[in-house]
Amino acid sequence: MSAIGVGQAVILGVVEGVTEFLPVSSTGHLKITEGLMNIPVDDPSVVAFTAVIQVGAIAAVLLYFAKDIGRIARAWGRGLRHRDERHHHDYRFAWWVVYATIPVVVVGLAAKPLIDGPLGSLWVVAGSLVVGSGLMWAADRMGRHRRGENDTTLKDAMFVGSSQILALLFPGFSRSGATMSTGLILGLDRVAATRLSFFLGIPALTGAGVYELKDAVGAGAAVAPLVVGTAVSFAVAYASIAWLLKYIARHSFNVFVFYRIAVGALLFALLTTGTLHA
């Protein structure tokens, strides 16, 4: 029997859609929400469900950046066929996305038992929310914000892509928070760092969702909640992406830093008092 009903899937889809690309940790918020709804966060079908509904958010990114992705894919195709096309930035960028995805895939597969087990504790989420906030705050102030998207390099892609490992191992750290912060430290402006975070997240998150799909069904996750949760996360994530890109063009990450600290402190309080169980 599925541990998640359709109504709960709607709520979790909204949480996933809102938080997947905001630097506040979607995994952390999903675990907190599941805990508040008395959903067993360590149930295999629940673990798989949370990974699968990310596909909805990824679909939103694919649609929102369809023109950019198409342009990069075409440049990659031309470069594979014609050597003289390989100087194009889009061709090189396509390969950078591939290279930058390898570290997180290797670590994800190797550390899966830890990620699904001890590292999935809400205590880890609470600590990661607070520590990640410190990194974001420092990165926003250390960064020079001088380089745009066309100035990105292989080094940028590898460092930003590898930073996804922090969020993979420590739910609550936030994949987008880690990647955006790394981009800022490397000197990218906020919009460039955010867009790079989106592009580098597509392969890793899509792969995780597809990988977990068979486990979700095999572990007893009902099809209806999976479909509903994924559809809701798609619609909400699309709106969230549009809002974030407009917001960070004119504002710092301070609002996210303060929000994360508040949520982390609240979670510590709920765990300490026994209101939530880790």
Number of residues in the chain = 278
For the chain, state the CA radius of gyration: 18
How far is it, in rounded angstroms, from Cα 55 to Cα 36? 24
Q: Are the CB atoms for 267 and 122 separated by under 8 Å?
A: yes
> Which residues have a Cβ under 8 Å from the Cβ of 157 and sit 6 or more positions away?
93, 96, 97, 99, 100, 196, 200
pTM for the predicted model, two decimal places: 0.84
- Distance CA(132)–CA(56), nearest Å, equals 25
Q: Tell me how far apart the alpha carbons of residues 170 and 193 are, in angstroms, rounded to a whole number.
A: 21
Beta-strand runs (E) in 123-224: none
Residue 221: the pLDDT is: 60
Cα–Cα distance, 36 to 22 (Å, whole number): 21
Q: Using CA atoms, how far apart are residues 175 and 161, in angstroms rounded to an integer?
A: 10
Q: Nearest 10 degrees: CA dihedral of 49, 232, 260, 144?
A: 110
Query: Torsion angle of alpha carbons 189, 72, 60, 130, nearest 10°?
Result: -30
pLDDT tens for the chain, 278 residues long, are 457 888 999 999 999 999 988 999 887 788 888 888 888 776 777 777 887 888 899 899 999 999 999 999 999 999 999 988 888 899 999 999 999 999 998 998 888 788 777 787 889 889 999 999 999 999 988 888 888 888 899 999 999 999 999 988 888 888 899 999 999 999 999 999 999 999 998 888 787 777 766 666 655 567 888 889 999 999 999 999 999 999 988 888 899 999 999 999 988 998 898 887 76
Identify the pLDDT of residue 1: 43
SS (H, E, C) 57-80: HHHHHHHHCHHHHHHHHHHHHHHH
